[in-house]
Structure 1
Amino acid sequence: MPTDSNRMLTVALTSDIWDHIIDRLGDYADEAEERPWLGDCHDCDKADPGKCPQHQQEAEYGAQVRVWRDQIVDQLTVQTATTADLVRRTGMPLDTSLRDVILRPYIAVRNLLMRDGILTLGDLAAVNDEDLCGIRNFGAGRYAELRAVLRKVTAS
């Protein structure tokens, strides 16, 4: 079975569990980075200052764990941002029409929003996420498409 190392994993967990995971990753990274100092190593030559070569790999792994933790935090920040936050990140004026922002192939999203009276980015920012998902025929799929469009606009 081929594996793709660039796959995105989507997991729904409570914020308490995510906080615990992130804290543990940070603790593990700290322990792995502190451990290779000669003062803490009983089997290595203490006369040679600096990091113990035997434990250098563990220190590098600790640094990698810290990078992974930072990536998880960044992904959670993006995933938990509200639509209003995403609208603000675009940097576009709030009176910008949705016709100028939501283009093909997302016209269905734009039409559903406009049918409900959401005509500008300001209107979109004023509506909370629960109300957006409550729009007739909008649902979770269209909501995900809207967020993807706003992320693309922000990135460009």
Structure 2
Amino acid sequence: MLQAGEETGEFTVRARVVDRSLTAVEVPATVTARRADAVVRTGDKALVCAPGKEFADQVEVKATYKGRSAPGVAATATMIKSAQDGTANDKGPYFKDADGEPVRTLKGLKTDENGKLLLPKMYADDTAGTYLLRIVTNGGATLTVELKVAAPAA
């Protein structure tokens, strides 16, 4: 068995017998990025926030591949317009970038050694409604999470 590291790409495995005049055998190989075939939320608490406030809970998910934890899997989280339209929304919940500015797509996320991914804190703008957060992992596993922005009950 040959184990590859984290660097993806093409390479060649060359095998030869020492002290023999046999020609080396070359076998092309590819190292692909880690993948997940399933992603689920680790909790089931409703994600509700008042307009203009911070969500009390962060979203945590677990990615798996063939039923086992999938560590080091790349993921993207996007506040989407609708279940049918996966483009980034321009209103509703958001994350903050390093400068504190609203962003609705996070790229370059990776699951930890247990296959878990804890998203940063989320915030709501002043637009009430029901919104969707879509998390997509390398390998195509997708999870859509419902977020609600509503005034607190009186």
Report the TM-score when normalising by structure 2. 0.23
Report the TM-score when normalising by structure 1. 0.23
Relative to total residues, which structure has the larger helix share, 1 or 2? Answer: 1
Highest RCO, 1 vs 2 (Cα 8 Å, sep ≥ 6): 2
